[in-house]
Homo-oligomer: A and B are copies of this chain.
Amino acid sequence: MNKIIIIDCLQYSKWTRKIFQQMNDGGVHAVHVTISYHETFREMVHNLEQWNRWFEEYSELIFLGKTSNDILRARKENKTAIFFGFQNPSPIEEDLGLIEICYSLGIRFMQLSYNNQSLFASGCYEKNDRGITRFGQQLISEMNRLGIVIDMSHSGEQSTLEAIEISTKPIAITHANPSWWHSALRNKSDTVLKKLANSKGMLGFSLYPHHLHKGSDCSINSFCRMIVEAASRYGIDCLGIGSDLCQDQDDSIVEWMRNGRWTKVIDFGEGSVDGPGFPDQPKWFCDNRDFENIKKGLISAGFTEVDVAAVMGGNWLRFFEESFGQ
């Protein structure tokens, strides 16, 4: 079991050597990291500059991943391939040409909206979901041409269904759970997940407490039984992990994620006035060394070793190859 590929398709931590070392200790071969939430193009570029410094400074632990072969290289060299993504399309501003520029800079995932209405799609917190916009259709076409994955994790139901329909390539919901397990605006309906699976898309299971049954107190048994149930409903091929791990972040960061510069009235998102900050992680998943717990939990819940390998990274590896090439 030690040699299986492990891919986490969403993390946004306060990056330090400690965390990159934990990825290494946990045998994590690839992580999709968030580059921006509400940044303009120029501000996003500044975030990439910071990553360039980390790639130089921690070159024995991490490198920029662009294709599926980079994940195999990571396994061979005992490193972690970092794949870039935007949670929100704000860096595209109102300029379609910026999507190819972002691709050249290494971006491989982009959400079409983040909770709110964007220029391209509606968000899961909007009352009315107007679906994919005219500009959104042009953007999807370019993302398909270039090989940037359309991620609908924070988008509304109608927009998500339309994105699956319009996109000529499979899309992803990199970090969310089924709403039949835990009802939340951010979790996804059975309708969406069936359509996602039928179109060869991917779902990454989230470990962010607000997406978990019983939140921070969610048991690993409940989480893993949910995955086994999802495999029986949708087939195992469309399932992976997208932990949404936000390790060591200050609470000001979750406030930025939720409020950006779009509101003067504080929006608590999935939190509340009494619990405005980051929730505590469940004890069995606190950092990159804890994928081991999930592997064991899945076996206990009834998965074979082959099933575990598929969900822990094998399915994402196939999807990365189909999306980005070798």
What residues of chain A have their CB less than 8 Å away from a CB belonging to chain B? Answer: 41-42, 45-46, 48-50, 52-53, 95, 97-98, 100-101, 104-106
Nearest B residue to A146, CB-CB: B52
Chain copies in complex: 2
Instruction: Return chain B residues, CB-CB under 8 Å to A53.
Output: 97
Contact assessment for A97 and B41 in the assembled complex, using a CB-CB cutoff below 8 Å:
no
CB A46 to nearest CB in B, in angstroms, measures 7
Instruction: Give bound CA distance, A46 to B42, whole Å.
Output: 12
Chain B residues near A52 (CB-CB < 8 A): 97, 100-101
- Are B104's CB and A46's CB within 8 A? no
Give the chain B neighbours of A49 by CB distance below 8 A: 95, 97-98, 100-101
Distance of A104 Cα from B84 Cα, bound (Å): 14
Q: Across the interface, do B97 and A46 meet the contact criterion of CB distance under 8 Å? A: yes
A53 and B42 CA atoms in complex are apart in Å by 21
Taking a contact as CB atoms closer than 8 A, the residue among B95, B98, B100, B106 that contacts A104 in the complex is B106
Inter-chain CA distance A46–B105, complex, in Å, is 15
For A105, the closest partner residue in chain B by CB is B104
A35 CB to nearest chain B CB (Å) = 13
CA distance A41 to B49 in the complex (A): 14
Known: A49-B100, A52-B101. 12 other contacts (CB 8 A): A41-B45, A45-B98, A46-B95, A46-B97, A49-B95, A49-B101, A52-B100, A53-B97, A101-B105, A104-B105, A104-B106, A105-B105
A-B contact pairs, 12 of them (CB 8 A): A41-B42, A41-B45, A45-B98, A46-B95, A49-B95, A49-B101, A52-B101, A53-B97, A104-B104, A104-B105, A104-B106, A105-B105
* A304 CB, nearest partner CB in chain B, Å: 42
